[in-house]
Amino acid sequence: MPTWVQVVYLLCAIGFILALKGLSGPRTARRGNLVGAAAAVVGCVLPFIYVDHLDHVPLMIGAIAVGTAGGVFGARKVQMTQMPQMVALFNGVGGGAAALVALLELNHMLEVQDALDALGADVDAYGWFVYAATAFTIFVGSVSFAGSLITFAKLQELMTSRPVVFAGLPVAFGLMLLGGVGLSVLTVTDAAIGIGIALCLVGLVFGVLLVLPVGGADVPIVISLLNAFTGLTVAAGGYVLSNTLLLVGGTLVGASGTFLTLLMARAMGRSVGNIMFGALKGGSTLGGGEASDRPVKSAGPEDVAILLGYADRVIIVPGYGLAVAQAQHTLRELVDVLGERGTKVDYAIHPVAGRMPGHMNVLLAEAQVPYEQLVEMDEINGEFKNTDVVLVVGANDVVNPAAKTTPGAPIYGMPILNADEAKQIVFMKRSMRPGFAGIENELLFDPKTTLLFGDAKESLGKLLNSIKSL
C-alpha cells in the first residue's frame, strides 16, 4: 500500500473520530454526521484508485449503486417513527456483510495455505490469531444480522413485541453458544470452509434465540447492544483484512455502542443481563396490555388551554406518541406562544423515551426546538415540584410511578421523570391502553391529572388556537 494511501486512510480514521465527537452533542451532530459520511465515502473510493488489478469491478459498482439507491430511498421515505427499525436494519446488514467478507477471506486463506503446502513449504501463512479473528467475525456478525432482523420485526409489529419464550429455550440457547465456541475453536485448529459455513448458521440461530425473549421497551437497548456487536465484527474484519480504517471505525462503533448500552441499562435501573434474559424468569418488560376501564378525569382543549395559559412554569414530557402523530412542529409552536406570554417552558428528556437512543432529541431538533430547552432527566427532576403544569405528550412508562412504588412491575427500579410531583399534570393520550411496558400508569388516576384524549397533532392544534384566544 503506497504511503500516500496510508496517509489518506489515517485522515479518514481521524474523520471517524471527529464524527463521533460531533455526534455527542446536538449542536454539532449534523456536522459530525457529514464528516463521518465523507470519510466513509473516501475510504470506499480509495481502493478503486490505488489497486492496480482490481477484480469484479462491475459487480462492486453495481452493489454500491444498489446500496446508494436504498440509502437515498430510506433517508427520504422512512418516517421518524420508523427510524429505530431502520437503525436495526443498518446494524444487521453491517454485521451480515462482515460475516460474509470473513467467510470469503477464510476461503482465500485456505487456498493460500493449500498452495504453500503443495509446494512443500512448512509455513503457517496466517497464524492462529488471524483464524480466531475470522471465526469471531463470522459468528458475531451472524448473531448481529439475525438478532437485528428480529428487533426490526418486533418494532415493525411483524411479530409480537412480547417476549417469545418456550420450554426448551435455555437449553437451545446454551447448545448454540457451545456450538459457536466449538466451531470457532475448530476454525483455529483445523480450518475448513464447511466449518465456517456451519459457524455462520449457528450464529444466525443464536442471534434469533438471543432476541426472542426480549420484549417491549427493552428493544432499544438490544439495538444498541447489537450495534456494538457489529462494530466489533467490523474491527475484527479490519484486522483480518489488514485494513486500519475498518479496524479504527469498528472499534469506535463497538466501544461507543457498549457504553451506550450500559448507560441506557442504568437509565432503566436494570442490568444488561436482566434486560436480555429477564423474560426467562418473568422479569422482562413485556409490552402489550389491555385498555383500562377505570374512571379518570378528562377535559377539552379549552380547559387545558386555561391551565397552560396562566401557568408560570410548564414542563413538556415528549414520548413515542408525539413521533407517531408527527406533532413536533405544532408542539414547538405551542411552546413558542406560551413563551411569548411569559411562561418558562422546558422539555424533559428521558434517556429511553421513544424507540431508540436520542429519539426525542432528533424529533424535536427536526422541529427547530432550541437546544437549551431540551433538559436531561437528572437535571430537570428536581424542578417538577415547582412546576405548575406538566404536559405529557405521547409518553407513558417514563413517568409511571410504578417504577418507584410497585416491586415486581416490569419497570420497577427504572429511574423516571418525577411528573407526579408537579401541581397539575395533563396527559395527552389516544386511549387508555398502557404503554410499551404493558402495565397501567397510576399517574393517570391521580387527582391532579387531567386527560386530553385524541390524536396528539389535532389536540395540540386545538390547544394552540385556544391559548391564542385567551
Active site (catalytic) residues = 397
Closest Cα partner for 224 from 214, 238, 235, 239? 214
Q: Check if the beta carbon of residue 192 is closer than 8 Å to that of residue 412.
A: no
* CA pair distance 280, 99, nearest whole angstrom: 29
* CA pair distance 285, 263, nearest whole angstrom: 17
In which residue are the cell numbers 456451519 written? 198
Strand-pairing partners, residue 317, are: 392
Q: For the chain, what's the residue count?
A: 470
Closest Cα partner for 40 from 243, 275, 186, 245? 245
* CA pair distance 3, 203, nearest whole angstrom: 38
Q: Do the bridges between strand 313-318 and strand 344-349 make them parallel or antiparallel, or are there none, so unpaired? A: parallel
Q: How far is CA 181 from each of CA 25, 47, 197, 346, rounded to the nearest angstrom?
A: 39, 34, 14, 50
Closest Cα partner for 10 from 102, 129, 18? 18
Cell of 432: 387508555
What stretch of H or E contains 427?
A: strand 424-429
* CA pair distance 336, 341, nearest whole angstrom: 9
* CA pair distance 191, 113, nearest whole angstrom: 10
* CA pair distance 46, 325, nearest whole angstrom: 43
Q: Check if the beta carbon of residue 419 is closer than 8 Å to that of residue 385.
A: no
What is the rounded (10 degree) CA torsion for 240, 245, 248, 250? Answer: -70
Q: Check if the beta carbon of residue 103 is closer than 8 Å to that of residue 196.
A: yes
Strand-pairing partners, residue 375, are: 348
DSSP 298: B
Cell of 188: 483455529
Strand, helix or coil for residue 367: coil
Strand-pairing partners, residue 453, are: 429
Closest Cα partner for 191 from 89, 86, 114? 114
